[in-house]
Structure 1
Amino acid sequence: MGLLAKVADGPDTEMVNDVRAGRHACFDRLVVDLGGQDTTFGSYDVRYVPLVSEDGSGRAVPVRGAADLQIVVRAPAYDPRGAATFTPADRREVVDVAGWTTFRQVAWAGSYEGHTTLALGVRARLPFRVFALAGTPASDHGPRLVIDVAHRW
């Protein structure tokens, strides 16, 4: 875990299917569920930024918390025909993280030109890690991108 950007540039053909979160003893976890042709995933850019910008328009996506973590998943939230594969019910509260130790807000910043961006508001600029979990071949269980943010230093 650390504060520096976590980046992977592997070729992928996945699409975003869901965004969910979990609480653990030492960290809060955000998971982006992916689906597509592969069982692996490795194309993302996750980093602290002064302010997350909306895909396409560049409009600011403010979130609660003292630090903004920008999550860019190099996978669209739409299929090759342009039909949505994931649409948050509430763009400002993609996942309910009220009362969590580290997470303050998860907001949708859009899906544009093959990339999907999320704004994760955290209580402070805390260490984080990013990794991908492989999916199961010949099943509905695709790969997942995992972002863990520590509760403390």
Structure 2
Amino acid sequence: MRRLGTAVTAVVLAGAAVSATAVTATAASATGAAPAAACDTAGWGSALKSADADAHKPLTAIRTGQHDCFDRMVFEVPTAGGKPVGYRIGYVKELHQDGSGDLIKVGGGAILEIRVAAPSYDPGTGRTTYPGKAGKPLPGVNIAGYRSFKDTRFAASFEGDTQIGLGVAKRLPFRVTQQNNQLVVDVAHS
């Protein structure tokens, strides 16, 4: 009798585990969602972030990428000896072009204004090093299908700084890091 009770209990428990797994799998496939990954954004925040730097080397490229927990924008700025690049990055209600003050429309639920202490031209020769045009999307950057990034706009390259408008889904936490010749801006998905 005891063995029969133990066998029945084991079958009932196994059936409950299979049912719970099936319900979870069905719910995930019904929403089209993958299992949620743990995303550590401790210390990111949505407040203004800035750093000063002495050298103003020209900006040569901007590219983007998608990750499980965030979207990334990378600014390529060749620096002597890997010195840090100055920046000022924060949310604004509207994007106004440096120099002229003209309003530049940026799509998305919030606008992250990114100022990098690097002109889009060589100050010595005047030669363009990054071909951005005021009010236009960033050349060569395709953010279709990104979760956080919704729009990009080149604003200006004025007095040694380059100004970019990044439209995001809503006011989301972000972080700024530097490595070698790159300034990296990550915007969390939530």
Task: Please report the TM-score for the alignment, with normalisation by the length of structure 1.
Answer: 0.88
Please give the secondary structure, in 2, of the residue aligned with 1:15.
coil
Gap change, CA 1:93 and 1:115, over 3 Å in 2: same
Counterpart of 2:9?
A: none
**Preserved contact between residue 40 and residue 133 of structure 1 (Cα < 8 Å):** no
Counterpart of 2:128?
A: 84
The residue type paired with residue 111 of structure 1 is: S
Counterpart of 1:123?
A: 169
Aligned-pair distance for 1:99? Answer: 1.8
Q: Describe how 1:20-35 pairs up with structure 2 within 5 A.
A: 20-35=63-78
Aligned-pair distance for 1:43? Answer: 0.5
Task: Please report the TM-score for the alignment, with normalisation by the length of structure 2.
Answer: 0.72
Counterpart of 1:149?
A: 187
Please give the secondary structure, in 1, of the residue aligned with 2:150.
strand
Deviating more after overlay: 31-40 vs 113-122:
31-40
The residue type paired with residue 76 of structure 2 is: D
**Preserved contact between residue 155 and residue 165 of structure 2 (Cα < 8 Å):** yes
Structure with bigger RCO (C-alpha 8 Å, 6+ apart): 1
- 2-structure distance, mates of 1:29, 1:67: 16
The residue type paired with residue 49 of structure 1 is: V
Gap change, CA 1:41 and 1:54, over 3 Å in 2: same
- 2-structure distance, mates of 1:64, 1:108: 13
The residue type paired with residue 144 of structure 1 is: Q
Structure having the higher Rg: 2
- 2-structure distance, mates of 1:42, 1:133: 10
Deviating more after overlay: 21-30 vs 81-90:
81-90
Gap change, CA 1:69 and 1:33, over 3 Å in 2: same
User: What is the aligned-residue identity percentage?
Assistant: 38
**1:39 pairs with one of 82, 107, 124:** 82
Structure 2 residue runs of 5 or longer lacking an equivalent are 1-43
Counterpart of 1:10?
A: 53
- 1-structure distance, mates of 2:169, 2:134: 21
What RMSD in Å do the two structures reach over aligned CA positions? 1.5
Give the number of aligned pairs: 144
